[in-house]
Homo-oligomer: A and B are copies of this chain.
Amino acid sequence: MDVRVVLLHPQEEGNIGSVARAMRNFGFSELYLVNPCELGRVARAFASHGTTVLEKAMIVHSLPAAVRGCSYIVGTTGKKGGHKTPKRKAPLTPEQLAGILPHDKTALLFGNEAYGLPNDILEQTDVVVRIPSNPEYPILNLAQSVCIVLYELAKKRFEKTVREKALTRELRAQLYKYTTEIVRRVYEQPHQQHAVDSTLRRIYGKSMLTEQEGRRIISFYRKIMRKL
């Protein structure tokens, strides 16, 4: 994934800074600004630890200069398409974009805060993305739109930073075995044993147990068994 974020005529320094921060948060670094507002203290404050991205941002004066070297151009919009704006019709969701994004350099274009990407620019893109949102107020803040699109693109890559190893089938089988054993020791009636055993299994199933959590319950049950 080789992504360049391109902001067209951004007018709020704070947004540019926030975009730089979000880029760093999701592991992107190539930022192009087409005729941006002045960048100063506010942009740096919003960028926080994303100032490295901000400092390396390329300032250019035309869209062709901003997408030079890109094989694929993605437009973004918050508005619905009609007859006059066929490109806005049937846009992809950010999730769908993540599914088809090529390895070659791709430019993600985001328009100005007040008016977004104009129709003539949308028509020049290869595909348009729209974030699913409330039809009563679908227009997101610029930096938040960038943030969501980058989040979707980076999600699969960084999921391992959150998820821990799931319980293996073998450990799960052991957990079930101990559960059945302990339930049999505590309840006498087979129908009660069955009900409690299956409730516990349902809870294990719903709680997406990690390996460590599974091991903890097993050791807890073994301790109980020894005391019984």
A107 contacts the other chain (CB 8 A)? no
Question: Interface with B: A66-74, A156-164, A181-189, which one?
Answer: A156-164
Q: Which of A2-10, A169-177, A205-213, A218-226 sits within the interface?
A: A205-213
A75 at the interface (CB under 8 A from B): no
Q: Which residue of B lies closest to A134 (CB)?
A: B27
Are A132's CB and B144's CB within 8 A?
Answer: no
Chain B CB within 10 A, most for which of A93, A133, A148, A164 = A133
> Hey, what's the 0/1 contact readout for A139-166 against B, CB within 8 Å counting as 1?
1110110011001001101111111100
A26 to chain B minimum Cβ distance, whole angstroms, is 6
Asked whether any CB of chain B lies closer than 8 Å to the CB of A105, the reply is no
A152 to chain B, nearest CB (A): 9
Assembled-state Cα–Cα distance A130/B147 (Å): 15
Q: Which of A157, A161, A162 has the most CB of B within 10 A?
A: A162
B137 in contact with A24 (CB, 8 Å): yes
Q: Is A131 an interface residue (CB 8 A)?
A: yes
- Choose from B93, B157, B159 the contact partner of A159 (Cβ within 8 Å): B93
Contacting residues, chain B, for A151 (C-beta < 8 A):
131-133, 148, 151
Q: Are A158 and B137 in contact (CB under 8 A)?
A: no
Q: Contacts A92-B208, A135-B158 given; 10 further ones with Cβ under 8 A?
A: A21-B141, A27-B134, A48-B141, A80-B161, A93-B159, A93-B162, A93-B163, A100-B206, A132-B155, A134-B154
Provide a sorted-by-A list of 12 A–B residue pairs whose CB atoms are within 8 angstroms.
Answer: A18-B144, A21-B140, A21-B141, A22-B144, A25-B144, A26-B133, A50-B137, A90-B163, A91-B162, A92-B162, A93-B162, A144-B144
